[in-house]
Chain A
Amino acid sequence: AQKITQTQPGMFVQEKEAVTLDCTYDTSDPSYGLFWYKQPSSGEMIFLIYQGSYDQQNATEGRYSLNFQKARKSANLVISASQLGDSAMYFCAMREGLRNQGGKLIFGQGTELSVKP
C-alpha cells in the first residue's frame, strides 16, 4: 500500500535562508507522481510543485525545488531564500498509477514551517 511520511512536525528557518522539508514515500507502482502543497493559516490548499516518477530532472518552480531521490524513495522540498509569507503547513502527497486508484492523492502528516525575521 502506498504511504507518505513527513517526519518533521515543525521547522524553523531564518528569513532569507534556505530550508529543506523531508518526505519519504513507499509504493510498489513504478508509475507515480509526487506533489507538495502549502496550507497557510487561511486554510486553502495551494499547489507548489510536482515530480513524476519517470522525470529525469528534479522539478523546480521559482523558489521551490524538489530533491527527488528515487532509489531512496525521498522527495524533499527545498525552499530557497525563505520569506515571512512562507510560514505555513506543508504537505507532501503521492498519486499512484495514471489509470489506477481513481487518481486519489495520499497525503503525509504535514510539516509546519515558521520563518523568523
Chain B
Amino acid sequence: NAGVTQTPKFQVLKTGQSMTLQCAQDMNHNSMYWYRQDPGMGLRLIYYSASEGTTDKGEVPNGYNVSRLNKREFSLRLESAAPSQTSVYFCASSEAQSFYGYTFGSGTRLTVV
C-alpha cells in the first residue's frame, strides 16, 4: 500500500544510547517532516526537508539530527538519548507545491529510561 512507513514502531532506549528512526515514502513527495507528539502539546515539528538535499530546523530540533538520504527516505537520529525525548514520533510527507496530500506514518513510540 502506498504511504509512509516508519520503523521501528516501538523502542526502549537507555539514557545516552543512540538510535535512528527510519522513514520512507513511496508517493514521490518532495517534502518530508519529523514531528514529536507529547501529551497536551500537539505535534511539534523537529526537522523538515522541503526537497531532496535540503533540511531545516523546526520548532524543537535540539538533540536530534536528520538525513535526507534520497527522495524516498528521511531519517531522524538521536545521538545521546535523554528521558525528555520520550515521545511518539511521526514522519510525514507532502507535495510541497500543493496544500493537499499530507500523509503521516503510523508513529514510533520511544521510551528513554
Chain B residues positioned under 8 Å from A91 (CB to CB): 42-43
B interface majority secondary structure? loop
Chain B residues positioned under 8 Å from A106 (CB to CB): 45, 59
- Could you tell me how many residues of chain A have their Cβ less than 8 Å away from some Cβ of chain B? 25
Q: Is A105 an interface residue when CB atoms closer than 8 A count as contact?
A: yes
Q: Is A33 in contact with B42, judged by CB distance below 8 angstroms?
A: no
* Complex CA–CA separation, A50 to B90 (angstroms): 20
Instruction: Provide the A1-41 mask, 1 if CB < 8 A to any CB of B, else 0.
Output: 00010100100000000000000000000000101000000
Q: Is B96 in contact with A102, judged by CB distance below 8 angstroms?
A: yes
Contact sample, A vs B, 27 pairs, CB 8 Å cutoff: A6-B42, A33-B99, A43-B88, A43-B107, A45-B104, A91-B42, A93-B43, A95-B99, A98-B98, A99-B96, A99-B97, A102-B50, A102-B56, A102-B96, A103-B48, A103-B95, A103-B96, A104-B31, A104-B45, A106-B45, A106-B59, A107-B35, A107-B44, A109-B40, A109-B41, A110-B40, A110-B42
The 5 closest A-B pairs by CB, nearest first: A102-B50, A45-B104, A33-B99, A107-B42, A107-B43
Using a CB–CB cutoff of 8 Å, the interface residues on chain A facing chain B are 4, 6, 9, 33, 35, 43-45, 47, 50, 52, 91, 93, 95, 98-99, 102-110
Using a CB–CB cutoff of 8 Å, the interface residues on chain B facing chain A are 31, 33, 35, 40-45, 48-51, 54, 56, 58-59, 88, 90, 92, 94-100, 102, 104, 106-107
